[in-house]
Amino acid sequence: MTQAALLSNEADADPIKAWPAVSLAESQTLLTAPGAMFEMEAWQRDGLNVRAWKNGPKSLVELFFAAQAFGERTFLVNEAERISFDAFGRAAMAFARHLVGAGVKPGDRVAVVMRNLPEWPVCFYGAALAGAVATPLNAWWSAGELAYGLKDSGAKVAVFDGERYERARAQLPGCADLTQVLVCRRTGADPLDGALDLLDVLGAPSAWAALPAVDAPPLTIAPEADATLFYTSGTTGNAKGVAACHRAVTTPVLTSLYSVARSFVRRGEAPPEPDSAVQKAYVVSIPFFHVTGCFSLLNVAMATGIKLVLMRRFEPEACMALIEQERATSIGGVPTIPWQLLEHPARPKYDLSSLDSITYGGAPAAPELVRRMDEAWPQARSGTGWGMTETCATFTHHMAEDYARRPDSCGPATPVGDMKVVDGEGNALPPGGVGELWVYGPHVARGYWNKPEATAKTFQDGWLKTGDLARIDEEGFCYIVDRIKDVIIRGGENIYSVEVEDVLYTHPAIMDAALVPIAHRTLGEEPGAVVTLKPGATADEAELKAYVRARLAGFKTPVRILFRHEPLPRNANGKILKPELKRLFEAAPANA
């Protein structure tokens, strides 16, 4: 039976359709059928057989040229600057020509060291067009961390914004592989110590439309060629460079679109045809130097003509003003972003009716958040997913009714990915069993840059050992239980932090919560919680302890609860920095 016939039959059978109208397996069969947008094909990479999207872009270069079809449509909005797809393309090609002229060869690393600015995607895609390996570094890093990234990657060229350049310039003479440094958005009049001003190469963004037109790329890029080197945003230890090829980093384009289409099919509806006359717009507070911001947002915008509205940093009222001004259709990030919008007293002042999707990840979200978003923005679909730097962003995802019915799940894998939960011996566990999550697919990275031992420990025959404890239900929906290293063991009893955090999130006063271990002389560890309350809400330690104790076993109840007046500290990909929170308990012992 065809997709149209099956969906129309479902719709005709009962005007009030039971959920789901189509099973997960049926929806996959329909959406990946021969000739369908999400049809798959066999692909061999590094001797491994994987399933890949047949109709998706095979490289960043292919994606770049596809985006040129959007011409004069606005691509990037940065305060008063508005840059079209055409102007962006001209600037990226000009930067590629500059790199080739500067002696950059295929496989050389080109570091991009800046906050979200229009120059970021220009340099990223310019590096790809030149055959280089685009190497974004974390703009939040200290001078020493930036120097580590430049040295570890062996970057030949680095492009900084003014703030990052001033932070790192004293360290640059020690980066022996660097042959050229460029700087945009200079913050002072001091000499550049041999660096080039990017203005002298590209001109100001307002003049990019006058650059020479886009022509053929300097060389042909194979899907298996190295494309990017992103550094992990780990919560402990040195960051590791994650090497990924072109087809891996473009796989999330159709992965993201598949989740949207599946939500319609599961409802018993045909996915809507794209309307070229209507442009979507996304308010961007996710850093491009994180794989979610780059692969699941920037690359998807390149493929679909989305307008990206850049925020220097997330601020709730400024975000709402941009949503109204730009008629933004999407926002995302970590769960605290929609919480802050929901709880902000100025929300009624702004027209947020243009929103049609709100997605996030990187941290657990309270089931109440889904309900509150549905009440506030009934026209918008909410969604969440799971991924890592090592999976080139999104690996699992779900939205709309699937997410509303399983708010504690991060969704199923998309058709090109496989996942399993294993015990300590690597044996696959049955549905519902808790063990380490392993994943496999075309978007799993090759390994860690120049770290063969770490690669061998984490990657096995194409499978990525994620370090996450998870369970997978009978239908294939994944539930992240905890990071293996974050499990609290109290007197031999395992306490999974997500379980306790989920209970805390259901308390009406709590906006942010994390569970961490507190050292104990005889028990080894005990659970401690750090929470942030919603604006205007009140709760005390005794009340929250009693709340948890009434819902979980006594040994899982936090023995201490600390309160913060701001959101909990997170790294660039939204993961809570639990080592920082553990130090709070060390600095304020119970008998202090």
Q: Which residues pair with 113 in a beta bridge?
A: 160
Q: What are the DSSP calls for 38-81, one per residue?
A: T-EEEEEETTEEEEEESSS-SSHHHHHHHHGGGTTSEEEEETTE
pLDDT score of 7 more than 50: no
- Closest-CA residue to 60 (of 279, 203, 250): 250
pLDDT score of 237 more than 80: no
pLDDT band at residue 185 under the 50/70/90 scheme: very high
- Whether domain 3-56+243-482 has CATH 3.40.50.12780: the reply is yes
Phi/psi for 458 (5° steps) reads -105, -30
Model's pTM, two decimal places? 0.86
The more confident residue out of 581 and 2 is 581
pLDDT score of 16 more than 50: no
pLDDT (tens digit per residue) in 459-478: 999 999 999 999 999 999 99
How many other β-carbons are positioned within 10 Å of the β-carbon of residue 473?
13
pLDDT band at residue 362 under the 50/70/90 scheme: low
Cα–Cα distances (Å) from 577 to 233, 296, 338, 510, 532, in that order, read: 10, 23, 20, 18, 14
Question: Across residues 157-166, what is the average pLDDT?
Answer: 96
pLDDT score of 561 more than 60: yes
- Spell 528-567 as b/e; 16+ CB within 10 A means b: bbbbbbbeeeebeeeebbebbeebeeeebbbbbbeeeeeb
pLDDT (tens digit per residue) in 426-463: 999 999 999 999 999 999 999 999 999 999 999 999 99
- Classified as helix, coil or strand, 289 is coil
What's domain 489-587's architecture?
Answer: 2-Layer Sandwich (3.30)
pLDDT (tens digit per residue) in 67-125: 999 999 999 999 999 999 999 999 999 999 999 999 999 999 999 999 999 999 999 99
> What is the H or E stretch that residue 525 is in?
strand 524-533
The owner of tokens 């990052």 is 164
CATH class of the domain comprising 85-221: alpha beta
Report for 1-5, 471-475, 549-553: range of highest mean pLDDT? 471-475
- Classified as helix, coil or strand, 530 is strand
pLDDT score of 236 more than 60: no
Q: Where are the domains of the chain?
A: 3-56+243-482, 85-221, 489-587
pLDDT band at residue 14 under the 50/70/90 scheme: very low
- For 382, the token pair is 């909410």
447-448 and 411-412 beta bridge pairing: unpaired
Asked if residues 436 and 484 have their Cβ atoms less than 8 Å apart, the reply is yes
CA–CA separation, 397 and 413 (whole Å): 7
Q: What's residue 234's pLDDT? A: 52
> What is the H or E stretch that residue 145 is in?
helix 143-153
Burial label, 102 (beta-carbon count in 10 A; 0-12, 13-18, 19+): middle
CA–CA separation, 180 and 144 (whole Å): 19
The owner of tokens 């094909």 is 41
Q: Which residues pair with 53 in a beta bridge?
A: 40
| Overall size of the chain counted in residues | 592
CA–CA separation, 237 and 240 (whole Å): 9
Domains 3-56+243-482 and 85-221 share a fold: yes
How many other β-carbons are positioned within 10 Å of the β-carbon of residue 510?
23
CA–CA separation, 266 and 262 (whole Å): 6
Q: Which residues pair with 516 in a beta bridge?
A: 528
